[in-house]
Structures are given as structure tokens and as C-alpha cells.
Structure 1
Amino acid sequence: MFSNCFMLALTLFWSCKSSSNVAPTENQKDDDPATVVVATVSDLVAEETNKKNELRLSWINPPGTVSVALSYTEEGTDTEHIVTPHIRVDGASRSSYVLKLPRYATYKVTAIAMDNYGRKSEAHTITATPAEENSYEVIENKLPIADPYVLYHGGKYYAYGTRVNGFEVYMSEDLKHWRRSEHLALSPENSWGDRWFWAPEVYYVESKNRFYMFYSVDEHICVATSSRPEGPFIQQEKKPIVTEKAIDTHFYMDEDGTPYLYYVRFTGGNVIWVAEMNDDLISIKPETLTECIRAQDAWERKQGTIAEGPSVLKRGDTYYLMYSANHFESKDYAVGYATATSPKGPWKKYEGNPVLRRDMPAADGLVGTGHGAPFVTANGSFRYIYHAHANENNVQPRTSFINQMDFSAEGIIRIFGDAIHPVVVK
């Protein structure tokens, strides 16, 4: 009887010890034959994507794998970067992951499989190099809009400008490569007027949770709204904001919540004016109309008596009004600015104007540089987008370019650096 019981207990002991469903104890050693070995991932592949510094990883999961840990080390360094400790496999035989790397270099990429008890496989390491530049199919070697404006919203850049009846919208993540929307942001049938659609600017007004497009059509100023930055924008009441002829609108919401509309009136040439808006943001308070900037200085009057394309921003206690001067067909079309302590002025022009013109390093040989707009990028720095002539001999088709922009310690605006030459991609 005792012998039979002993043999039964011994059988149960070895049966339990050899079960693969029991996690190893802390006392088990690596050379213990009962230790379960987790198989290594296989067929680990790293491929370039169409974006720079990015790799698409794929691999085959061994049986029993519940997650995979990924890491990378730049060649020539000893610092290992853990991408994520637990990429869930959920029974899939093959998995993939898009690895975003900090810069262009060659990397060692490591994958480690893990089973349900936290047991890890040996590391499987490969070497790979991402693309140095984004890979796109370029369909137009320029951004073919004039009077350009850029809105940064939701992690994406949106560009609008003068080109067709109505307004197109272009979208980008890097300011170099832009995709044209299949649909117009504003179609003529959704607007008052049917010709001369010029200089659109789009703003997100948080208090109304709407996007507002201010623009010129048939030499009158209008506003349309949308729930999305790409549109469609619709003018709810099809009439101009003011009855007189006017162009080149710019909207500015002051810190105290007062909305202002800057635009060009034909009062002795092209002259920039400002008025407070009503809370509906589709009408102004005519009694607040105030003149801001007119072309008076020599650099502003090389061709025509024109000041246009206003943009306003604030730094500290100072308001900046950027504008363009001369006729847009002039090779000397240029950008200057003025400052004030109030959104309504009085404005004092910068003595060093212009800050962008064909004879300056930032223009890099471009002519007819102007009617642009400043904008803030994803990292908080400023850029300035503007248009230029097709070449030395032809104004049209005008195309857009982007330069760096900043403020000196003395509060002076500087447009500088190598221009980005945007392209349209598929």
C-alpha cells in the first residue's frame, strides 16, 4: 500500500514540474532543463517609408508570444532607446510598427518576444537606415498661389491664396510638401460675387468653434465660415461686409477679446484702415474706422501709391503691422512694418524698412516679393510666407515661398535664412 502511494505521488510531482503552463520559480537556473525557452522573433525587416527618418518594422511572432519590446541604438553610440516595452501581438503571426527616429543615421534595431509569464526571448537585432528625405511624387514644382496665408491647426499646415475663382486649400506637415485638396475651400456659388477672388485668410475662433475665411471678391470684402479648415466655407448672408470697394482683409482678435478687421480702402491710393467688428464677426462698427498706413516713403512709391496686405501680431506690449508696398507687378514689391501701442495705432514705421525685397539675402534672387503673412510653426517659431514673380521677365504665375522670421532683443523684425521652395505632391 505504501509503495503504491509513493509511486503515485512521485508521478504527480514530475507531471506538475514538467508542465509548460507553470511559470519558473526564482530558484530555477538557466541550465535547468525544466526552464521554458521563449523563441526569438524571426524575419525582422526594416523598410523606408515615404517620410524621412522613419522605418516600418515587420516580423514573425513565435508561438506563445503576447507582446514584443522594441529598442534602437544609433551606430557609434552606446545609448539604447526603448521604443515601447509592450507591443501587443494578440495572437497575430506577423506584426508591424512604424518607428520614428530622431534624425538621419544608421541604427541597430532590436526586438524581444515575451510570453504570458513575462519570460523573454533572446534579442534579435538588425541594422537599418531610414530615408534621408521624404519621398513624394512631385506633381508641381512650386506652390502656385499668390497673396498666400498659412493656418497651423491640429498638427497640420493649411495654405490658401489667390489663383482660381473661389479658393483652393493646400495641406502640409513639413512646409515643403503640399497636397492640394480635391475640393475648393470656397466655391463661387457659396459666395457673393463671381470674379476676382483675392487674398483669403482663415482663422479659428475658439469662442464660436468655427473657422472664418476673410477675403476679397469683385473688389469687395466678405467673410465665410466652416466647421473645418479645409472647408467648405459658406457665406451665410451673401453680401459684402461693407458696401464700398475694398480689398485685402486681415482679422485680429486682441487679448481683451475685441475683434478688429484691417483692410485696404481706395482713399488716395491703396491705404490700410482698421475698424472694430461687431460680435457677429460679419460686420464692422463704421464709426471706429481709423487710417493706419499709407504709401509715403520712397521705397513704398517706386510704382504706384500702394500699401496693402496687412498682418497684425503682438509681442509684449507692442503691436506690429506688417504690410507690402508698390504695385504687385513691380520687381520692387516689398515688405515693411510699423509698430504701435494700440491695435488702432497711431503706427510708426520702422526706419529700416523694407525687411524683404529682391535686393536682400532672404529673397535669394526672387523679384516682386510681398503680400505675405507671418505664422507660428509647430515648434513655436515664426515663419513668413509670401509670393514672388515667376521670373525676372514675367509676373505671372506668381508662386509662394517661406522664410524664417524672428524678433531681435530690440524688437526688430527680421526675415532671413534660405527660402523654402514648396512643391505640390500627390
Structure 2
Amino acid sequence: MKRMIALLLLAGCSQLSIAQEKKAKYSGNPVFPGWYADPEGVVFGKDYWIYPTFSAAYDQQVFFDAFSSPDLVTWIKHPDILDTAAVKWAKRALWAPSIVEKDQHYYLFFGANDIQNNQETGGIGVAVANNPAGPFKDYLGQPLVSQIINKAQPIDQYVFHDSDGKYYLIYGGWGHCNIAQLKDDFTGFIPFEDGITFREITPEKYVEGPTMFKKDGKYYFMWSEGGWTGPDYSVAYAIADSPMGPFKRIGKILEQAPAIATGAGHHSVIALPAENRWYIVYHRRPLTEKAANSRETCIDRMYFDKNGLIQPIKITKAGVPAALIRK
């Protein structure tokens, strides 16, 4: 009798272990605890990295944390990789980091101060480090973009590295989006052939949060629509033959699921084309939360149909399966 009870207990423990193991093989959503938004997902070497906005009142947004993982399941927090103490002109509202690696340095582009006019100090800055975990220091000593150009508030910056080696800064809030070609050292911009430095590429219904990637020779431009504090926040996209467009809106591919979460938006894309794996990293608001800054970072798979169109994304609680970077 005792042996039978022991066997039953052992079987129960085994089933529990299997259940825990299955659970551990998925990232879960959110992928890490805490209120974080506007996540930038990238790959450096054999690790996945996420650089989000600390989601809090503007005056409390004075630093960035980063997170790294070898498998999308186990995440390591790298606290305070950059804060306003290292950027003399930045005082508040550190937003939406975007990072690129170049010549063994890591360049972190960020928005600061939430400027409302051209008399205020702030805009888009650049910080640099020798390690993706920082610490980062101010690269220019002043904003890279400090003015409201083409009615685009200088926030929500994304750096796109094209296959021809050129780097572009794509940014903008207030319903307007600009693109500009960066100098090789990221200290300024190279005017386009027509003499324009900041070209507006705003598509229909654009609000903020631009992202771009290239697949099969086509440029996929994605952005957020709706209000960031509400349930209608979402992501739409367009495809063009050039990073300058023109971009004609195709449709919405990420939005709330009433049974899971609201306000799904302001995303980035982790692309592993050699492995045919594409992920969307985004923030959303739990159903239990109403506060504007109660946003958490999540990840789900992104798929394409036979014509290269992005299939509507199903937001999940499970997240994505564990996956090492093979190449």
C-alpha cells in the first residue's frame, strides 16, 4: 500500500515536472516583469536583446533598462544602461530606444524631454558604449534632432540599416514621419539628391512608432495607430520598393484581443531570415489595468503568406517557444 502511494506521488511529481518543463519552453507574456513599453528587439551575436521604455510618469522616465536572453525564455535584466546623469541636456521622458552595432561600438538612439516646440531643449539623442549592456554615454553632447520638422515631433526614432550599407533615421510623432540618411559616424545627416535632408514618408493613419525591415528585396514599413493610452492602439504596415516609399497602407496586423489584453502596439521586429523566424516585440495593457502607463512587453511570432503579406498576428499568453540562435 505504501509502495502504491509512493508510486502515485512519484507519478504526480513527474507530471508536475513535465508541466513545468513545457511551461519553461515558452517565453510567456509578458516576457519579463515590470511596466515596460516601446520595446526594441534585436540580435547581437548569439543573444536576443530588448531595449524598452520604462513605463511611468514622464518625470520618472530618467533611465533605460535592457534585457538579454539566449533562448527567448530566460531573460537577464541589465539595469540603468543609460540615465539622464550621463546626458546633460536630457531631463525627463526618455523614450523608445533604438540600437545598432557598428565598428564594435553600440549606438543607442533615444528621445528625451517630450519637446512641444522649437524653443524647448530636447529631441533625439545618441549614446554610445562598447557593450550592448552599457554603460552608455552621451555621444554628441547635444540632440541629433532638436527641431520639429515637417510637423513631426522628434520622438520614436528607429535606425534602419539597409543592405547597401546606408543607415537611415526614421522617426516622428504627432501623425507625421520623417526619414533622413545618417552620416557614417552618426554625427549628422547626408542630404538626399534633391537637397532635402528630412523627407516626410507619412502613410495613411500613421500616428507614431515607426519600424522598417527588408525582406525579399521589399521594404516593410510599420507603425502604430490609435491613442497609446487607449484600447485601440494597434500596428499597421505598408510595402514599397524603396525606404523612401511611397508607402500605401495595406492594413492592420496587430491589435487588442478582448480576452487577453488591450492597447497592443509600438513594436519592433526581430528578424532571423536565414532561419525563417520572425518575431514581433510589442507592448500591451493587461485587462486588469486601466492606468496609461501599465504596459508590459510581449513577444509573438510573425508569419507571411505566399505573396509576402504579413498575416494578422494573434497575441498570446504563452508567447513563443524557446529558440537558440543557430547562425
TM-score range, shorter chain: 0.7 to 0.9
Going from structure 1 to structure 2, the CA distance change for 1:364 and 1:238 (only over 3 Å counts) comes to farther
Q: TM-score, normalised by structure 1?
A: 0.59
Going from structure 1 to structure 2, the CA distance change for 1:257 and 1:403 (only over 3 Å counts) comes to same
Superposed CA deviations along residues 129-148 of structure 1, whole A, max 9, x for unmatched, are x955549xx9x973531001
How many angstroms does 1:412 deviate by?
A: 0.5
Residues 38 and 283, structure 2, Cα contact 8 Å, conserved in 1: yes
How many angstroms does 1:288 deviate by?
A: 2.9
Letter in 2 for 1:261: L
Going from structure 1 to structure 2, the CA distance change for 1:379 and 1:185 (only over 3 Å counts) comes to farther
Residues 263 and 285, structure 2, Cα contact 8 Å, conserved in 1: yes
Identity of matched residues, % = 28
Q: Secondary structure at the match of 1:256?
A: coil
Residues 41 and 50, structure 2, Cα contact 8 Å, conserved in 1: yes
Q: Secondary structure at the match of 1:161?
A: strand
Q: Are residue 213 (structure 1) and residue 122 (structure 2) matched?
A: no
Q: How many aligned residue pairs are there?
A: 272
276, 284, 292: which one pairs with 2:189?
Answer: 284
Q: What are the ranges of 5 or more consecutive residues in structure 1 without an aligned counterpart?
A: 1-103, 106-129, 301-305
Going from structure 1 to structure 2, the CA distance change for 1:131 and 1:323 (only over 3 Å counts) comes to closer
Letter in 2 for 1:159: I
Letter in 2 for 1:240: P
In the alignment, the residues of structure 1 paired with residue 175 and residue 263 of structure 2 have an alpha-carbon distance, to the nearest angstrom, of 17
**Map of 1:20-419 to 2, 5 A cutoff?**
134=24, 142-163=33-54, 164-181=61-78, 183-191=79-87, 192-205=89-102, 208-219=103-114, 220-245=123-148, 246-264=154-172, 269-285=174-190, 287-294=196-203, 296=204, 300=205, 307-350=207-250, 353-359=251-257, 365-376=260-271, 379-391=275-287, 393-414=290-311, 415-416=313-314, 418-419=316-317
How many angstroms does 1:365 deviate by?
A: 2.5
In the alignment, the residues of structure 2 paired with residue 132 and residue 406 of structure 1 have an alpha-carbon distance, to the nearest angstrom, of 23
Going from structure 1 to structure 2, the CA distance change for 1:143 and 1:382 (only over 3 Å counts) comes to farther
In the alignment, the residues of structure 1 paired with residue 22 and residue 263 of structure 2 have an alpha-carbon distance, to the nearest angstrom, of 33
Q: Secondary structure at the match of 2:208?
A: strand
Residues 161 and 167, structure 1, Cα contact 8 Å, conserved in 2: yes
Superposed CA deviations along residues 194-245 of structure 1, whole A, max 9, x for unmatched, are 100000111212xx22111111011311111111111111112211112214
How many angstroms does 1:420 deviate by?
A: 4.2
How many angstroms does 1:279 deviate by?
A: 1.6
How many angstroms does 1:162 deviate by?
A: 0.9
Residues 260 and 316, structure 2, Cα contact 8 Å, conserved in 1: no
Going from structure 1 to structure 2, the CA distance change for 1:417 and 1:387 (only over 3 Å counts) comes to closer
Going from structure 1 to structure 2, the CA distance change for 1:215 and 1:364 (only over 3 Å counts) comes to farther
Going from structure 1 to structure 2, the CA distance change for 1:408 and 1:291 (only over 3 Å counts) comes to same
Letter in 2 for 1:154: G
Superposed CA deviations along residues 378-426 of structure 1, whole A, max 9, x for unmatched, are 945010011012436333321011110022111111224635459xxxx
Residues 24 and 73, structure 2, Cα contact 8 Å, conserved in 1: no
Q: Which runs of at least 4 in structure 1 moved beyond 4 Å after TM superposition?
A: 130-135, 377-380, 419-422
Rg: which structure is higher?
1
In the alignment, the residues of structure 1 paired with residue 32 and residue 245 of structure 2 have an alpha-carbon distance, to the nearest angstrom, of 41
In the alignment, the residues of structure 2 paired with residue 194 and residue 224 of structure 1 have an alpha-carbon distance, to the nearest angstrom, of 15
Q: Mean Cα displacement is larger for which, 391-400 or 221-230?
A: 391-400
In the alignment, the residues of structure 1 paired with residue 291 and residue 83 of structure 2 have an alpha-carbon distance, to the nearest angstrom, of 29
In the alignment, the residues of structure 1 paired with residue 307 and residue 237 of structure 2 have an alpha-carbon distance, to the nearest angstrom, of 15
In the alignment, the residues of structure 2 paired with residue 243 and residue 323 of structure 1 have an alpha-carbon distance, to the nearest angstrom, of 22
Which residue number in structure 2 is paired with residue 62 of structure 1?
none
In the alignment, the residues of structure 1 paired with residue 198 and residue 24 of structure 2 have an alpha-carbon distance, to the nearest angstrom, of 48
Q: Secondary structure at the match of 1:177?
A: coil
Going from structure 1 to structure 2, the CA distance change for 1:161 and 1:224 (only over 3 Å counts) comes to same
Which residue number in structure 2 is paired with residue 63 of structure 1?
none
Going from structure 1 to structure 2, the CA distance change for 1:337 and 1:193 (only over 3 Å counts) comes to same
Going from structure 1 to structure 2, the CA distance change for 1:226 and 1:143 (only over 3 Å counts) comes to same
Q: What are the ranges of 5 or more consecutive residues in structure 2 without an aligned counterpart?
A: 1-16, 55-60, 115-122, 149-153, 321-327
Q: Secondary structure at the match of 2:155?
A: strand
In the alignment, the residues of structure 1 paired with residue 21 and residue 318 of structure 2 have an alpha-carbon distance, to the nearest angstrom, of 20
In the alignment, the residues of structure 2 paired with residue 224 and residue 141 of structure 1 have an alpha-carbon distance, to the nearest angstrom, of 24
In the alignment, the residues of structure 2 paired with residue 418 and residue 282 of structure 1 have an alpha-carbon distance, to the nearest angstrom, of 40
Superposed CA deviations along residues 122-178 of structure 1, whole A, max 9, x for unmatched, are xxxxxxxx955549xx9x973531001112212222211111412101122232332
Q: Secondary structure at the match of 2:279?
A: strand
Q: Secondary structure at the match of 1:418?
A: coil
Residues 165 and 195, structure 1, Cα contact 8 Å, conserved in 2: yes
Cα RMSD (Å): 2.7
Going from structure 1 to structure 2, the CA distance change for 1:155 and 1:331 (only over 3 Å counts) comes to same
Which residue number in structure 2 is paired with residue 113 of structure 1?
none
